[in-house]
């Protein structure tokens, strides 16, 4: 199991910790990322987390969310995980960063400095079942409507990242 990069509130590396341990109890602040992928029609790719995930299994998420390893940049990590989880590559760009903390049942917590990446892709997707239970393309408007109607179906960091991108005008909430 890979280590996550522990950071301070300014995203400066302060150490490494095994991934599961970093998510136990209140969680240790560490680096993470979430990736928004859009197609030529402006729809975004969302992925349902595998049942095998320790935290938030079967919740809907952005196309991909994970952690960079030591000495790995966010874009490099994002490309690595897109290929490992969904079987494709595309250019990625860093567009936002935020910190959040959220407990999941009695199993653990997220405590992350989360960087948001964005990319564009029109091609075949090959999800890996250990990572992704399902996926679909959806408009931002319909996604937001479903998040309001079914808030407990979506990973917390995904909801935070999406709201921030809409509030900042970086993506539009059209139906």
Q: Which two tokens stand for residue 88?
A: 């494709």
Distance CA 115, CA 122 (A): 23
For 152, other C-beta atoms within 10 Å of its C-beta total 6
- Sign of torsion over alpha carbons 140, 35, 90, 51: negative
- Provide the 3-class DSSP secondary structure of residue 141: helix
Strands (DSSP E) contained in the chain are 3-7, 13-18, 30-38, 44-49, 60-61, 64-66, 92-104, 108-120, 132-138
Say which of 13, 93, 112, 174 is annotated catalytic.
Answer: 112
Is 99 one of the annotated active-site residues of the chain? no
**Residues designated as active site:** 112
């Amino acid at each position: 199991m890979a280590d996550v990069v522990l950071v301070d509130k300014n995203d400066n590396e302060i150490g490494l910790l095994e991934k599961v341990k970093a998510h136990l109890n209140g969680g240790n602040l560490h680096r993470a990322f979430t990736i928004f992928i859009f197609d030529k029609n402006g729809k975004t790719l969302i992925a349902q987390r595998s049942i095998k995930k320790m935290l938030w299994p079967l919740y809907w998420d952005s196309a991909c969310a994970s952690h960079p390893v030591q000495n790995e940049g966010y874009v490099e990590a994002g490309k690595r995980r897109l290929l490992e989880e969904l079987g494709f590559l595309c250019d990625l760009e860093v567009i936002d960063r935020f910190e959040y903390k959220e407990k999941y049942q009695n199993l653990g917590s997220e405590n992350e400095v989360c960087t948001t990446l964005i990319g564009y892709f029109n091609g075949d997707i090959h999800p890996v079942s250990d990572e992704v239970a399902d996926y679909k393309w959806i408009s931002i408007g319909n996604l937001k409507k479903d998040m309001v109607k079914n808030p407990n179906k979506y990973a917390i960091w995904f909801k935070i990242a999406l709201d921030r991108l809409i509030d900042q005008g970086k993506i539009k909430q059209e139906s």
